[in-house]
C-alpha cells in the first residue's frame, strides 16, 4: 500500500477492493504504516479504491476510533454512495472525488453573480462557480432545481459535479436547446414569438406556489437593501421607500430571481429554465426589478454593460423588456404597464445603488445617477405591489 508523509500529514492510498478476503490485512497494513509515522494527521486517499464492503467499513470505523481527525478524500461516486447510505458521511470528514474537465474553447452562454455557464457540446452545459469552495452552493442549487421540477416548472437538473481548474462545476443535460437570446438574434422576424415564450414561462413560475420555509422571501431581502442605504439617501426617501417595501403583501409564489433570456432555453416546443440558485418567493415586483436592471438599469450610463451581459444590442434589449411587459400584462392597459415598470424601477435602483456603493465606491458618477433615479421614482409611486 502506497503512502506519503509531508507537512506533518500521513496520506495513505488504498487501491482496488476492500472486502471480506482482505479487510483485516488492509487494516493491519494501515496500522503498520501509522506506527512507523506516528505524528500528525492521517488522510486516506481513495481515488483508486473501486469497492468497499461492510468488512472494509468496519476497518474504517476502527481507524476512526484511533484517529479522531481522520479525513477521507477523493472518493469515487460508487464508493461515496456506500459511505452515504451507511451514514459514514455524517460520522467523519469524507470528500467526494470529482473528475476534471476543461471549458477551453467552449461557448460561454451566460454569466451571473455566482457562476459562468458554458456549452460543452450540443447536449450538455456546465455552470462553473466563481467561488472555489462552492460545494454547498452546488448542493443547494441542485435541491432548488429539484424543488422547481417537482412543482411543475421545467428546469434543467444537474447530473454531475466536476472540477474545472481549481473551481467546481455542475453539468446539466440540455438537449440541443438554444437560449431565447440566441433564437431572437438568429430569427429577428420571430422575436415577438420568442418573447411570448419567455413571458409564458415567467407566468408559469409566478403561478407556482411553494410551501413556507423552502425558499427565501424576496421581500426580506429587499428590506435588507433598503436598510443598508439608510445613511446614503434622504430621510424622507428612506422612510417612504422602507414603508412601501414593508407594505408589499407577502406571497408564497415562486420567483426566479435572475430571469433573462440567457437563462431560458427552448427545444422541442418547450421552454427550459436554468440557473436556479436565486429562487425565492414573493410579489412579482421583485422579479421585474431584476429584469429591469438586466435589460436597462445597468446600461443607462454605459449600454455596453447590457450588451456584454446579455449578448444582445441595446435596442433589442429595450424591445424585449417592453414586449415582455406587454405579453405578461396582456390583460392590462399601457398606463398599468408603465406603472408596473416604475414600481420595478424603485426596487431595481435600490438594489443597484447598494451594489454600486459596495463594489465600486469610486464610481461616483454612477452612484449619483442611481441615487437621483431612485429618489425620482420613489416620488412617482405610492405602492409597489403588482
pLDDT of 327-356, one tens digit each? 999 999 999 999 999 999 999 999 999 999
Residue 210: alpha-carbon gap to chain centroid: 18
Cα–Cα distance, 189 to 191 (Å, whole number): 6
* Of 135 and 34, the one with more pLDDT: 34
pTM (two decimals): 0.78
Predicted confidence band of residue 277 (pLDDT cuts 50, 70, 90): confident
Cα–Cα distance, 236 to 51 (Å, whole number): 67
Mean pLDDT of the chain: 94
Predicted local confidence at residue 211, as pLDDT = 93
The structural domains of the chain, with segments of one domain joined by +, span 2-96, 107-173, 178-380
Predicted local confidence at residue 157, as pLDDT = 79
Predicted local confidence at residue 136, as pLDDT = 85
Q: Is the pLDDT of residue 375 over 80?
A: yes
Q: CB within 8 A of 278, min separation 6: which ones?
A: 112, 256, 257, 258
**Percentage, residues of the chain above pLDDT 70:** 100
Average pLDDT over residues 18-43: 95
Q: Which CATH number fits domain 178-380: 3.90.1200, 3.20.20, 1.10.150, 2.40.50?
A: 3.90.1200
CATH number 2.160.20.60 is the correct assignment for the domain at 107-173: no
Predicted confidence band of residue 5 (pLDDT cuts 50, 70, 90): very high
Predicted confidence band of residue 298 (pLDDT cuts 50, 70, 90): very high
Please give the C-alpha separations between residue 379 and each of 124, 241, 296, 343, 376, in angstroms, as whole numbers. 47, 9, 20, 11, 5
For residue range 112-146, what is the model confidence (pLDDT) as tens digits? 778 898 989 888 889 999 988 888 888 888 888 88
Predicted local confidence at residue 226, as pLDDT = 98
Predicted local confidence at residue 176, as pLDDT = 78
Average pLDDT over residues 254-274: 94
Predicted local confidence at residue 112, as pLDDT = 76
Euclidean distance between the first and the last CA atom of the chain, given in angstroms as a whole number: 66
Predicted confidence band of residue 156 (pLDDT cuts 50, 70, 90): confident
Predicted local confidence at residue 140, as pLDDT = 86
Fold of 2-96: Transcription Regulator spoIIAA (3.30.750)
Predicted confidence band of residue 174 (pLDDT cuts 50, 70, 90): confident
Average pLDDT over residues 86-115: 89
The H-or-E segment that residue 129 falls in is strand 124-129
Provide the H-helix boundaries in the chain. Answer: 23-36, 54-66, 77-85, 88-91, 135-150, 180-186, 191-206, 218-228, 235-246, 284-295, 304-310, 314-328, 334-359, 364-380
252 phi/psi in degrees, rounded to 5: -100, 15
Amino acid at each position: 500500500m502506497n503512502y506519503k508523509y509531508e507537512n506533518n500529514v500521513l496520506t495513505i492510498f488504498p487501491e482496488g477492493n476492500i472486502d471480506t478476503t482482505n479487510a483485516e490485512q488492509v487494516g493491519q497494513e494501515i496500522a503498520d504504516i501509522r506506527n512507523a509515522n506516528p505524528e500528525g494527521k492521517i488522510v486516506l486517499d481513495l481515488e483508486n479504491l473501486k469497492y468497499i464492503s461492510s468488512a472494509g467499513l468496519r476497518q474504517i470505523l476502527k481507524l476512526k476510533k484511533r484517529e479522531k481527525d481522520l479525513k477521507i478524500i477523493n472518493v469515487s461516486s460508487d464508493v461515496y454512495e456506500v459511505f452515504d447510505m451507511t451514514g459514514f458521511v455524517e460520522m467523519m470528514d469524507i470528500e467526494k472525488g470529482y473528475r476534471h474537465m476543461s471549458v477551453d474553447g467552449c461557448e460561454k452562454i451566460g454569466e451571473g453573480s455566482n457562476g459562468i455557464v458554458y456549452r460543452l457540446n450540443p447536449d450538455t452545459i456546465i455552470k462553473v462557480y466563481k467561488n472555489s469552495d462552492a460545494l454547498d452552493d452546488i448542493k443547494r442549487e441542485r435541491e432548488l432545481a429539484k424543488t422547481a421540477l417537482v412543482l411543475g416548472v421545467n428546469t434543467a437538473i444537474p447530473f454531475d459535479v466536476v472540477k474545472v481548474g481549481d473551481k467546481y462545476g455542475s453539468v446539466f443535460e440540455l438537449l440541443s436547446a438554444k437560449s431565447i437570446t440566441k433564437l431572437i438574434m438568429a430569427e429577428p422576424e420571430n422575436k415577438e414569438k420568442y418573447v411570448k415564450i419567455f413571458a409564458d414561462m415567467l407566468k408559469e413560475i409566478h403561478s407556482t406556489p411553494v410551501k413556507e420555509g423552502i425558499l427565501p422571501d424576496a421581500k426580506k431581502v429587499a428590506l435588507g437593501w433598503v436598510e443598508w442605504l439608510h445613511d446614503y439617501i434622504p430621510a424622507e426617501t428612506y422612510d417612504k421607500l422602507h414603508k412601501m417595501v414593508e407594505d408589499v403583501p407577502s406571497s408564497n409564489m415562486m420567483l426566479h430571481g435572475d430571469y433573462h433570456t440567457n437563462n431560458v432555453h427552448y427545444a422541442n416546443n418547450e421552454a427550459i429554465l436554468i440557473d436556479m440558485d436565486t429562487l425565492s418567493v414573493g410579489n412579482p415586483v421583485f422579479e421585474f426589478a431584476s429584469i429591469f436592471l438586466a435589460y436597462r438599469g445597468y446600461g443607462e450610463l454605459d449600454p455596453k454593460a447590457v450588451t456584454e451581459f446579455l449578448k444582445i444590442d441595446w435596442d433589442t434589449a429595450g424591445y424585449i423588456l417592453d414586449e415582455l411587459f406587454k405579453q405578461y400584462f396582456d390583460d392590462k392597459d399601457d398606463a398599468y404597464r408603465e406603472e408596473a415598470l416604475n414600481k420595478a424601477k424603485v426596487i431595481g435602483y435600490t438594489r443597484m445603488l447598494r451594489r454600486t456603493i459596495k463594489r465600486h465606491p469610486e464610481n461616483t458618477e454612477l452612484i449619483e445617477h442611481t441615487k437621483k433615479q431612485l429618489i425620482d421614482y420613489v416620488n412617482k409611486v405610492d405602492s409597489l405591489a403588482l
